[in-house]
Chain A
Amino acid sequence: MIPHVPIGRWVADAIDWLLATVPWLFDAISEVMSTVVNRLTDVLAAPAPVVWVVILAVIALLVRGPWLALYAVAAFLLVVSLELWVETMQTLALVLVAALIAAAIGIPVGILAARHRAVSIAVRPVLDFMQTTPVFVYLIPAVFFFGVGVVPGVVATILFAIPPGVRLTELGIRQVDREVVEAAQAFGARPGQILREVQLPLALPSIMAGVNQVIMLALSMVVTAGLLGAAGLGAVVVRAVTQLDVAAGVEGGLAVVLLAIYLDRLTASFGQRTALSRVLGTRRRGRAAPAEEDTPSSGQPVEEPALSTR
């Protein structure tokens, strides 16, 4: 017989030890997160819905184009008519905070993993663990650490959403044309310069695809967060499930889908040239053009030998 290896016991002991040793740490995290989410919710839900519908539509217009703007108006007005506006904004706040933190952790780790093989090898099983462990398994310690409410939901969402950020960042940097990186080295660029000026800009589409995935996964966690007592669309769905209320369930679910489509289409265009960057780009170039004429370099160079050009 193989003796039972008490892994579960060890983890539980470790969690008990953490709770006994640094309870203030979890309190602090809890305090900060709930404050941030609540403030953001206030900002999103306080004004009349039509204000934010217009703002979201304008963002869609600048980043993507008129079709997404049209969609935003229709989708969010539908949400208002379903009387789920406040819940939708609560969910949006939770998703934005969780996605921001997940990206803030995932992208740097992805950069490290791309630059150091050891980090890549060490991080990979951790990511596998985070992505495949059933969500409810780490809900339990999350509740121990942070109690019920919005914070354990955010934390669980962050853990779930980090892996694609890491993976797509690492992949993006590794896929940057080796010769271009080599060229930067050959001209004497420092590793930091190569990262900032070559690798990150060229990996941007892949990194932004990662951000898009982070946001979508965060959104898929809202129901779970609702289970833990976070207000929002998740709570609506959970209540509908417990009351076997099909109508409320469908409406809550639909609001999640409408929000998801909006966020996906918006962030899917991040890596590409957007309407906004086209506008900014032309303006930059427009400013640069007149400056060209009064610099001496557009005439004959001063001390260089005059060379014929073909």
Chain B
Amino acid sequence: MDRLSVTPVLQVTGLTKVFGAREADALRLASEGLGRDEIQRRTGATLAVHDVSFSVERGELFVIMGLSGSGKSTLVRLLNRLIEPSAGTVEVDGRDLRGLDDDQLRQVRNEKMSMVFQHFALLPHRSVRENAAYALKIRGAGAAEQRERADWALRTVGLLERAEARPDELSGGMRQRVGLARALAADSEVLLMDEPFSALDPLIRRDMQDLLERLQSELHKTIVFITHDLNEAMRLGDRILMLKDGRTVQLGTGPEIISAPADDYVADFTSDVDRTRVLTAGDLMREPRMTAHLGDPAADVLRALGAAEANGVYVLDDAGRVVGVARDDLLARALQEGRTTLDHRSVVAEHAGTTADRPVVEFVHLLGRHPVPLGVVDDDGRLLGVVPRAAVLDALSAVPVRGGVR
């Protein structure tokens, strides 16, 4: 599961924002561990974000999840310094944004980080194409380049045929496609998406999530995605940062958060999540109790099956690839017929497999139909582990353990 670690594209350390006049006092109180309400009462200042640290790897879709007032919109604006941080650092490709002057900062915003907004924020007096080309126009690109990049981006989001339209002639979903095209046309490494789909109807939202997943699988952008919808977070996010009252509550993958929510706040959220779409075969898999290989003594295999109270066992070749399943009754017949080693004739194809990244909903129908549990295999057919039906039922029905990891 771990990525190879290079320099993270985005490195955020101790990021803090206080709104209000008595910033220094509020920072001191915050570092003493006082809550947002108490700081507000004592200083009149609002602690919007406090001591948030995380890093985002190249190509990762990182979700920041929180309810309104959790500071997530402030946090995303601290990342491109639309809001000036009170403390902490943001490094983009190892470069500290605080050290930049206005021109350099504008250049970073224009070329390195593009933003997608909740209410689209398109220029109503410009055509869709002009909106898509906006970053390039600011950059001073020539008309031909502007047009080429904008048209590429519009085609990518499936909106090229509306390039001449004005934003107000489009539906909400289409407008956000323009917002997305504007960010893509800039060709920046990082996309900051501030609740991009929250203002859309559920069906359109689903479409847009599909679109984003498809784009991400093709373009591999580094994305910071803000949302208040945990299902959306679970669906899209490689990792999720749970934010509450401006502080990090939990940081982990979707399955990690579901299986071990850090506190009641997170647990409340996770109770609404459709686990069958979040938990994957890889999350639920375990070591097989036993495996057999071609050439093993059949009597030993049959004895081991008895001890394990199982009806069948995966048979692997020398490379660990699944050859098939040895069934107990077939083994017994082989012994009666005098065949003492496990050979191809004792092996049947009564098994089903999946890859580790598929969610439960996609393999649940395969469970419990064979003498062996569902196998989890890699791309070469090597057996990584098994998912017993009971493990799935257990995970779906489990009351989450509170105060677990982290």
Q: Is the interface of A mostly helix, strand, loop or mixed?
A: helix
Contact across chains for A193 and B115 when beta carbons are under 8 A apart? no
Contact across chains for A186 and B80 when beta carbons are under 8 A apart? yes
Contact across chains for A297 and B82 when beta carbons are under 8 A apart? no
Name the CB-closest residue of B to A306: B155
Distance of A188 Cα from B156 Cα, bound (Å): 23
Q: CB-CB contacts of B128-155 with A at 8 A, as 1s and 0s?
A: 0000001100110000100110011001
**What chain B residues lie within 8 Å of A304 (beta carbons)?**
152
Distance of A230 Cα from B121 Cα, bound (Å): 51
Distance of A296 Cα from B147 Cα, bound (Å): 10
Q: Which of B106-114, B289-297, B314-322, B353-361 contacts A (4 or more CB under 8 A)?
A: B106-114
**What chain B residues lie within 8 Å of A184 (beta carbons)?**
134
Q: Which positions 185-202 of chain A face chain B at CB distance < 8 Å?
A: 185-190, 193, 197-198, 201-202
**What chain B residues lie within 8 Å of A190 (beta carbons)?**
106
Q: CB-CB contacts of A163-189 with B at 8 A, as 1s and 0s?
A: 000000000000001011011111111
> Does B243 touch A at the CB level, under 8 Å?
no
- The total of chain A residues at the interface (CB under 8 A) is 30
> Does A301 touch B at the CB level, under 8 Å?
yes
Name the CB-closest residue of B to A179: B121
- Given known pairs A285-B164, A298-B151, A310-B211, the reply for A183 and B158 (CB within 8 Å) is no
| Distance of B171 from chain A, by nearest CB (Å) | 15
Q: Which positions 213-269 of chain B face chain A at CB distance < 8 Å?
A: 218
Q: Is the interface of B mostly helix, strand, loop or mixed?
A: helix
Q: Which positions 287-310 of chain A face chain B at CB distance < 8 Å?
A: 288, 295-298, 301-302, 304-305, 307, 309-310
Name the CB-closest residue of B to A201: B125
Contact across chains for A182 and B148 when beta carbons are under 8 A apart? no
Contact across chains for B82 and A202 when beta carbons are under 8 A apart? no
Contact across chains for B138 and A179 when beta carbons are under 8 A apart? no
Contact across chains for B125 and A187 when beta carbons are under 8 A apart? no
Distance of A177 Cα from B113 Cα, bound (Å): 22
Distance of A188 Cα from B117 Cα, bound (Å): 15
> Does B306 touch A at the CB level, under 8 Å?
no
A-B contact count (CB 8 A): 85
Contact of A186 among B82, B107, B119 (CB under 8 A): B82
Contact of B106 among A188, A201, A302, A310 (CB under 8 A): A188
Contact across chains for B114 and A187 when beta carbons are under 8 A apart? yes
Distance of A177 Cα from B124 Cα, bound (Å): 11
- Given known pairs A180-B123, A182-B121, the reply for A188 and B107 (CB within 8 Å) is yes
Q: CB-CB contacts of A40-74 with B at 8 A, as 1s and 0s?
A: 00000000000000000000000000000000000
**What chain A residues lie within 8 Å of B82 (beta carbons)?**
182, 185-186
**What chain A residues lie within 8 Å of B155 (beta carbons)?**
301, 307, 309
**What chain B residues lie within 8 Å of A187 (beta carbons)?**
109-110, 114-115, 134-135, 138, 182, 186
Name the CB-closest residue of B to A302: B148
- Given known pairs A180-B122, A183-B121, A201-B125, the reply for A188 and B110 (CB within 8 Å) is yes
11 interchain pairs, CB-CB under 8 A = A186-B82, A187-B114, A187-B115, A188-B107, A189-B138, A198-B123, A295-B144, A297-B147, A307-B155, A309-B157, A310-B211
Interface, chain B (partner A; CB < 8 A): 77, 80, 82, 106-111, 113-115, 117-119, 121-125, 134-135, 138-139, 144, 147-148, 151-152, 155-158, 160, 164, 182, 186, 192, 211, 218
